Amino acid sequence: MLCIFNNAVFIMKEVFVLDKYDRNILNVLQQDGRISFTDLGKQVGLTTTPCIERVRKLERSGFIKGYSARLSAKQLDKGLVVFVQISLDRTSKKTFEDFRRTIQRVPSVQECYLVTGSFDFLVKARVKDMAAYRDLLEDELLNLPGVKESTSIAVMEIIKETLEIDL
For residues 48 and 90, membership in a common domain is answered with no
Q: Are residues 39 and 105 in the same domain?
A: no
Task: Please check whether residue 126 is in contact with residue 78, taking contact to mean a CB–CB distance below 8 angstroms.
Answer: yes
* DSSP for 114-151, written as a single string: E-SSSSSEEEEEEESSHHHHHHHHHHTGGGSTTEEEEE
Distance CA 161, CA 167 (A): 17
| pTM value surpassing 0.95 | no
Which residues form the domain of 36?
2-60
Give me the CATH number covering residue 132: 3.30.70.920
Pairing of strands 80-88, 147-154: antiparallel
Residue 90: its pLDDT value, please?
86
Would you say residue 130 lies in a domain?
yes
Please give the tally of structural domains in the chain. Answer: 2
Instruction: Supply the CATH number for residue 49's domain.
Output: 1.10.10.10
Residues 100 and 137 in one domain: yes
**Which whole-number Å values give the CA distances from 25 to 29, 142, 167, in the listed order?**
6, 43, 11
Q: Is the same domain home to 54 and 85?
A: no
Instruction: Answer yes or no: is 69 within a domain.
Output: no
Task: Give the pLDDT confidence score for residue 15 in this predicted structure.
Answer: 72
pLDDT tens digits, the chain, 167 residues: what are they?
555 656 666 565 667 789 999 999 999 999 999 999 999 999 999 999 999 999 999 999 999 999 999 999 999 999 999 999 999 998 889 999 999 999 999 999 999 999 999 999 999 999 999 999 999 999 999 999 999 999 999 999 999 999 999 99
